[in-house]
Amino acid sequence: MRDELTRLGVRELRTSDEVDEVLGAGGDTLVVVNSVCGCAARNARPAVAIAMRHEVQPDRVVTVFAGQDVEATARARQYLTGVRPSSPSIALLSGGELQFMLERHQIEGREAHQIADDVTQAYDEFCATN
């Protein structure tokens, strides 16, 4: 489950210090809150793989693993202001500020390509000016 993302080049953040280092660095960062649930396997992780082929990309794509890397996940969620904790979820931050978020209820029951379309539209809107 971890390897599905790290094989794509997604950086895994396993401590709160790593989260602060990356999310505090500025630029655009896609944050994937990974999980063991079926909708992460069927929908979220495949959607990230599709979105990584899009022409416009954020500066970084990172992941934390809910339920396994508790400290890192809790710290990442502090950057996801205004939304409840959700696993899986996919968020785009620009300069450490939340710009776009797909929560579990927006991932469950949807096809990976539909989710990837939402993500790449966010890339086009928030990352295209970089």
pLDDT tens-digit readout, 73-108:
999 999 999 999 989 999 999 988 999 999 999 999
> Is 113 domain-assigned?
no
DSSP assignment string, 61-117? EEEEETTTSHHHHHHHHHHSTTS---SSEEEEEETTEEEEEE-HHHHTTS-HHHHHH
For 20-30, the pLDDT digits (tens) are 999 988 899 99
Query: Which residues does 83 contact at the CB level (< 8 Å), separation at least 6?
Result: 89, 98, 101, 103
127 is catalytic: no
Q: Number of folded domains in the chain? A: 1
> Is 126 domain-assigned?
no
Is the separation of the CB atoms in 58 and 26 below 8 Å? Answer: no
Task: Kindly name the residue from 39, 72, 76, 122 that is annotated as catalytic.
Answer: 39
First to last CA, the chain: 31
> Is 22 domain-assigned?
yes
Task: Kindly name the residue from 13, 31, 37, 93 that is annotated as catalytic.
Answer: 37
